[in-house]
Amino acid sequence: MYQSQTVIGRTLAAKDAALEDCIWPEDALHAIPDWVYTSAAVYEKEIEVIFHGKTWNYVALEAEVPNPGDYKRSYVGPTPVVVSRAEDGSINVFENRCAHRGAEFCRHSQGNAKEFVCPYHQWSYDLKGNLQGIPFKRGVNRIGGMPKDFRNEQHGLRKLRVTTRHGVVFASYSEETEPLEEYLTPEILADFDTVFPGKPLKVLGYYRNELPCNWKMYHENLKDPYHATLLHSFLVVFGLLVAGNKSAMLVDTVHGRHGTMASAKSEDKYAKVSDENKKEMRSFHDGLSLRDDRFLEFVKEFDSPWSVTMQTIWPNLIVQREMNTLGVRQIVPNGPDSMIMQWTMFGYEDDTPEMQRHRLRQGNLMGPAGFLGLEDNEAMKFVQEGVRRASTGVNVLKLESGKLGTSDSLISEAAIRSMYAYYRQVMGIPVGGAQ
């Protein structure tokens, strides 16, 4: 008994590994060490080199800030920011942290303002984040106040670079991040532009939930078509994604960090699954049907061979096109063991009222309690609990062994492998640790 406690103690320490102890297992393509999900030191480095590094982070849709003065609270990694439309029409992103004493000054999730005023000492900022006013700057009766050489322009909010494409707003801490189109790479950009062709978007609603798991698990989940055919009863029973459907797990060819899980729904309303395949799928149930068939209607509206494209855009964006339900999901990491997911569901301004109702109805697939979202949330929680508490230390990644990049098979882990090959490089993690 005492011996096993010692083993557990040692294992838990390894899960909170210091960076210098983080050496990827020797068989790097086929193993993921637990500490990528549990170590606080790894998490801090991810914030520095990934979210605050050379990346474009999704922060808002332009449709959320259409007019001068419109603003939205958002996040880059875990860092709170404000997205603000200034009088000149420009979109600005700055940290939601008063330059004076650090208060998160913007408290409303969305709104319209002429200026931003910190509630603590009422320092005020314009819509571009410049400091414009300080109460009692010259003191009272010339006693107290700021030093004479204090310059407002040296004490504005920390501003981020901003770029937009077809109504989607991204921000970056780095001056070196390449132009967005180059960042996304051609094959990812093509499916992105299918969902965002440049016509005005209409926001239909929001969900927000906390997931008790590491933020990278969400990327993995959407680079893991294997689970989709097994975990999700709804997908397989109603034929949305069945092993054998036309499908692909696309990976960007430049870095391997972005992906698109793509599939084409079978023509039949309900899946035709061979008896042999059924045996492999415990989540398949014969004889189920929907009371309201309209739920699964697919109105073909895009010039695309796919009825579903789920895009993972590094590091914090999911672009969801599941038949006619469209959305963006923003990953907000919240420590190694937690993330916040912010879902924004949308359609287009030119949708007919029927199409808008259809998108809202089909939107029940998604969200924290959606017919598809629900099971992923649970599965990722189970994984976090497992890697945090158990003693094994390494996860196995051997489907389509050795392969990196795009795969036509759903029974593959090549896209996850590609993401971690990129991750090791950007994090500077050496390979060669014991298995």
Binding interface with Fe ion (CB under 5 A): 376
| C-alpha span between 330 and 318 (Å, rounded) | 7
Strands 24-25 and 431-433: parallel
Q: What is the DSSP string of 316-340?
A: TEEEEEETTEEEEEEEEE-STT-EE
Alpha helices in 144-274 (DSSP H): 180-184, 186-195, 215-221, 225-231, 233-237
192: enclosing H helix or E strand: helix 186-195
Minimum Å gap between C-beta 378 and Fe ion is 10
Contacts of 11 (CB under 8 A, 6+ apart): 391, 393
Which residue in the block uniquely carries the two structure tokens 């899980």?
261
Say how far apart CA 220 and CA 222 lie, in whole Å: 5
Helix %, strand %, coil % of the chain (to 5) = 30, 25, 45
CB of residue 10 vs Fe ion: minimum separation in angstroms? 34
- Closest approach, Cβ 183 to Fe ion, in A, equals 26
Q: Shortest distance, CB of residue 379 to Fe ion, whole angstroms?
A: 7
Angle at 203 between CA 362 and CA 224, to 5 degrees: 55
CB of 207 to Fe ion, least distance (A): 16
Instruction: Considering the complex, state which of residue 75 and residue 238 has its C-beta at the smaller distance from Fe ion.
Output: 238
**CB atoms near residue 44 (< 10 Å):** 13
**Tokens 């287009």, residue located:** 348
Output 201 or 240, the one with its CB closest to Fe ion.
240
Check if the beta carbon of residue 22 is closer than 8 Å to that of residue 428.
no
Closer residue to Fe ion in complex, CB, 27/210:
210
Of 220 and 376, CB closest to Fe ion: 376
Selection from 199, 180, 220 nearest residue 331 by Cα: 220
Residue number closest to Fe ion, CB atom: 376
| Closest CB to Fe ion among residues 70, 376 | 376
The residue (of 22 and 317) whose beta carbon lies closer to Fe ion is 317
Least distance in angstroms from the C-beta of 221 to Fe ion: 5
As measured in angstroms, the least distance from the Cβ of 377 to Fe ion is 9
Please check whether residue 421 is in contact with residue 29, taking contact to mean a CB–CB distance below 8 angstroms: yes
Shortest distance (Å) from residue 411 CB to Fe ion = 15
Cα dihedral sign, 81-83-86-88: positive
The CA-CA-CA angle for residues 39, 45, 48, to 5°, reads: 150
Residue (62 or 376) nearer to Fe ion, CB? 376
- In the complex with Fe ion, which residue's Cβ is closer, 70 or 322? 322
